[in-house]
Amino acid sequence: MTPANAFAAGTTTLAALPLLLLTSSAAFTPTSQRLPYVRSYHGCAASHTTFPFKAIGYSTPHTGAHTLVGLARRSPSFNAVGRIMSTADVNAGETTTAEGGEELWWKAVVFEDAALPESVLKDFPILSTMVGAEGSEESEKKPLVYLDSAATSQKPTFVTDMLTDYYLKANSNVHRGAHALSREATGQYEAARDAIARFVNAFSRNEIVFTSGATEAINLVAYCYGRKNLKEGDVIITTELEHHSNLVPWQMIAEETGATLKVVPVSDEIGTPNWDAFRDMLDRSVKLVSIQHVSNVMGCVNPTADIVDAVRSKAHPDAKIMLDACQSVPHMTVDVQKLDCDFLAASGHKLCGPTGIGFLWGREELLNSMPPFMGGGEMIDEVYNDRSTYAKAPARFEAGTPAIAQAIGMGAAVDYLNGIGMDRIEKYEQELGAYLHRRMEEVPGVTVLGPPSGGEEGRAALVSFVCDKVHPSDLSTFLDMEGVAIRAGHHCCQPLHRALGYSHSARASLYFYNTKEDIDFFVEKLEETLKFFGNLAGGPDGEEGGDNFVPFI
């Protein structure tokens, strides 16, 4: 069947497909004219029936047109007339050996600390679960290979037990009651603050403000510090690589205060911020610099010591430096005293803790010089009908009933990480990340984003990439069918992707619980998927691709 009559052959159920397919891959910036895609759908409005299926075809990005080539229905009863499309169909029996019998370097690699992920596997039951693509049968499920820890990490039982224990044995409001449970809850909540303060080597426990996450922490500084201290003529500097949560708040506060926001562009060569351009931006008008410690897309570790030196010597004497440490705190020893910044934000859920919690570290005198973020209980000293006085930090910034269990869970998470040792985690991840990076660089048709590994500042254990022939969403859908969880999208970094000339990328991100086998399996499935799409795209115009692709409607 040719693409042209594919729709005509459809039943009433298939009649809704053109509508669905219009939402497909047209936004991607491809290098080729025709971009193959695979899309998972569940249900069809036209016939009011519900069934999961995959649509495979080409999109022509410039016109937005889509050509449906095949449908794969993921139901055993449908196999009689069709077949389930999977990468295994394409490469059954193939192994990843080099042509000509050449020795493959990566097969011989053994990580120095391979015992680390083995020793923690029992702590993460989720890593031993079976997963399936949307609508898949139990029998189709595959072992989970979780490569999305930069989005959120998995949680060890040490943390989940702590959460359960808290709710079962200590649940109460904090700082309020003189009863036993309240004392217990308050004790655990404040012990979590101590744990975080030690974890980042704060000067004082009062410097740790619990927030809902890094986003709230950055907004807190933008509003509380920015509103009071920024005005027209002042300059805020951030970079083009930032997560939206370290860009949009500064745009908003610049608009409100009249300050100017300057954005350090990404450098063309290696995809790190252009630090020369940054230095050129620095003068006495610069009042605030807010940058990532580690990029969630490019994986670069920013040279914070140089940045801090440059700001301290060239910017306004009162200029403040904020670090978005979301992607560093979970993976390496972060010492705010050594970093010599003024504010630092991180999220609990990326460091084995629960969602809904993170923290802001700020120098104590600075926090106490800032107005509160929100008004309400806990943040006050005295309240009258017409005015109030405020508590000192951290209570000043923790209005209302806080996320008590989540804070305790985040405290447990850092205890857990300390139990392993941050130096050990960092060392292992350096090896793991460099291995992933090198393997990815050798996959034909893949462009790896960001700097090379082995650089002076190091590289985080994550790799973002784009493929010549496959949209990142389609790739992740396909890998999902193999149990591999990666991230596809702009990763909350639209300006960065725009600067690089892509609308999206795919990202595999690692944590200390990942193994060499995880990476090998991912790369194997990636290669298979790319071959599959290569076949699909390979035929002359108007024909389906290689022999391995069997359309069936």
Ligand X SMILES: Cc1ncc(COP(=O)(O)O)c(C=O)c1O
Which residue ranges make up the site for ligand X (CB under 6 A)?
213-215, 243, 245-246, 292, 296, 324, 326-327, 347, 358
**Catalytic position from the list 300, 352, 492, 493:** 492
User: Tokens 């508590």 appear where?
Assistant: 391
CB 348 within 8 A of CB 358: yes
Q: How far is the CB of 524 from ligand X (least distance, A)?
A: 27
Terminal-residue alpha carbon distance, the chain: 7
**H/E run at residue 219:** helix 214-220
CB 321 within 8 A of CB 311: yes
Residue with the closest Cβ to ligand X? 213
Measured from the CB atom, is 188 or 292 closer to ligand X? 292
341 is catalytic: no
CB 510 within 8 A of CB 433: yes
CB 220 within 8 A of CB 373: yes
CB 361 within 8 A of CB 207: yes
Measured from the CB atom, is 324 or 378 closer to ligand X? 324
Q: In terms of Cα–Cα distance, which of 509, 505, 483, 507 is closest to 494?
A: 505
Burial profile 334-352: b = 16 or more Cβ within 10 angstroms, e = fewer: bebeebebbbbbbbbbbbb
CB 308 within 8 A of CB 321: yes
Q: How far is the CB of 215 from ligand X (least distance, A)?
A: 3
Distance of alpha carbon 200 from alpha carbon 338, whole angstroms: 10
Measured from the CB atom, is 213 or 472 closer to ligand X? 213
Q: How far is the CB of 238 from ligand X (least distance, A)?
A: 12
Tokens of 184: 């217990």
Q: How far is the CB of 273 from ligand X (least distance, A)?
A: 13
Q: How far is the CB of 260 from ligand X (least distance, A)?
A: 23
Measured from the CB atom, is 282 or 357 closer to ligand X? 357
Distance of alpha carbon 528 from alpha carbon 509, whole angstroms: 20
Distances (CA, A) of 212 to 200, 232, 384, 522: 18, 30, 29, 33
Q: How far is the CB of 438 from ligand X (least distance, A)?
A: 23
Measured from the CB atom, is 44 or 488 closer to ligand X? 488
Distance of alpha carbon 531 from alpha carbon 526, whole angstroms: 9
Distance of alpha carbon 284 from alpha carbon 331, whole angstroms: 34
Measured from the CB atom, is 21 or 500 closer to ligand X? 500
Measured from the CB atom, is 324 or 527 closer to ligand X? 324
Q: How far is the CB of 249 from ligand X (least distance, A)?
A: 11
Indicate which residues carry an active-site annotation.
492
